Structure 1
């Protein structure tokens, strides 16, 4: 049984699923490497336009595998495998969260482009409760997502946020009844049906613009706008509006 699975439930959509239910999807080095490899594979698959990251029906991931972590010294911690593959994915990644997303599990969600959560979902950075500092980006991405004070509340207390509270803070885009995967796949299929060069440019400009000045971000946006005039899909978009029909995008 694979601990990381790839499924293709609809045209243009792939699901990356964590599958270590016996340890509540705890993240060890093998899982982290397989997640990075899965993203690399899907980013080179021309049939895929959007990706869903999910865990089980009752837990997303409880965080790092503590049995692996407990054996490390400082050198081992320096050498520990980490990655930002979801953050740098050229294709949109949607997190579909059922149950608990704690520690490193929540840090992977913070790398995703947006989050669909079931009503039973909870989000927490629990590292402080065992004397650890987050090591997968939470201290930087969480303040950028929910603001400095809300982030410090979560980081310093380790208190879980409910799906409703995460939605109120702007962390979760939608809270759904039942399993979050169905809605995430529906949205991924919608994104996959959009002109893919435009989708890629929008994602890239937003990511880069957040870490630069406003003026530089506007310049990036303007360049992205200009580049689209060299694409066949924009011409098809214009034509479909003029002719009152649905567009047929090819990704060119």
Structure 2
């Protein structure tokens, strides 16, 4: 598969997707949206790929959101079915995605980062939902996800003003997992290596339980989790037998991902 506005590389079990429009601060036009959706579709379908890392080309920007030189999406029909950046409405997949945020993550770029499971940011990273300052709203999930991440009052203070946050502020508020000096991608790959040291079946089940459970009362979630597809696949997998066997034998487990 060839791309014009992104690059995709595989390093072992890790897929690295890079938004490659540094001259536009990695803002997304319509074709870039389609390419990201295809890249994440391919990642989800590849049983040999266990973790994805999403980043932006160059040191200045992760993603500046929608390219304002392109037609503005007027409804969800103007975006891929999987949402802005091919990820913000991708609610069912269970493979983990890590955002490596170098530079600015504005508007849709922030929304993409919020849609990832882990966010690693360089010190120069900056986050904002500035849509209210240009007569728009953050319809790529930002207005819905940010209150869930940091609480309603804190989120309102940011969303109603469009105020910019530093990486350190993101870490303090809890939507950033780690701040590094410069190389967010290297740090994200380190996180990915820690994840792939675990059973992918367990990782996927854990992600599905956590995300599905957010929408249910605790008592209902405790019962429902046993029927989640990723949980059933984990319990029926070779990995479920390999883990205890490796622990008993004091050896490194050989995860199969099946």
Supply the distance in 2 between the matched residues of 1:155 and 1:247 (Cα, whole angstroms).
45
- What stretches of structure 2 of length at least 5 have no aligned partner? none
- What stretches of structure 1 of length at least 5 have no aligned partner? none
For residues 9-158 of structure 1, the aligned pairs below 5 Å read: 10-56=11-57, 57-69=59-71, 77-78=74-75, 79-82=77-80, 83-84=82-83, 85-86=86-87, 87-88=90-91, 89-158=93-162
- DSSP-derived class of the 2:74 partner: helix
Matched-pair contact (CA < 8 Å) for 2:131–2:162 = yes
Deviations 1:47-85 (CA, angstroms, capped at 9, x unpaired): 21100010122211111111224xx5xxx6134215345
- DSSP-derived class of the 2:160 partner: helix
- DSSP-derived class of the 2:202 partner: helix
For residues 231-250 of structure 1, the aligned pairs below 5 Å read: 231-250=237-256
* 1:15 positional shift: 0.6
Supply the distance in 1 between the matched residues of 2:20 and 2:235 (Cα, whole angstroms).
43
* 1:208 positional shift: 1.0
Matched-pair contact (CA < 8 Å) for 1:7–1:16 = yes
TM-score scaled by length of structure 2: 0.89
Supply the distance in 1 between the matched residues of 2:240 and 2:116 (Cα, whole angstroms).
27
Q: How many pairs does the alignment contain?
A: 246
* 1:240 positional shift: 1.2
Supply the distance in 1 between the matched residues of 2:45 and 2:157 (Cα, whole angstroms).
39
* 1:187 positional shift: 1.3
Matched-pair contact (CA < 8 Å) for 2:201–2:233 = no
Correspondence for 2:5: 3
Matched-pair contact (CA < 8 Å) for 2:26–2:64 = yes
Supply the distance in 1 between the matched residues of 2:111 and 2:99 (Cα, whole angstroms).
11
Structure 1 range deviating more: 42-51 or 208-217: 208-217
TM-score scaled by length of structure 1: 0.92
Q: CA RMSD in A?
A: 1.8
Supply the distance in 1 between the matched residues of 2:115 and 2:31 (Cα, whole angstroms).
19
Matched-pair contact (CA < 8 Å) for 1:11–1:189 = no
Matched-pair contact (CA < 8 Å) for 1:209–1:217 = yes
* 1:125 positional shift: 0.3
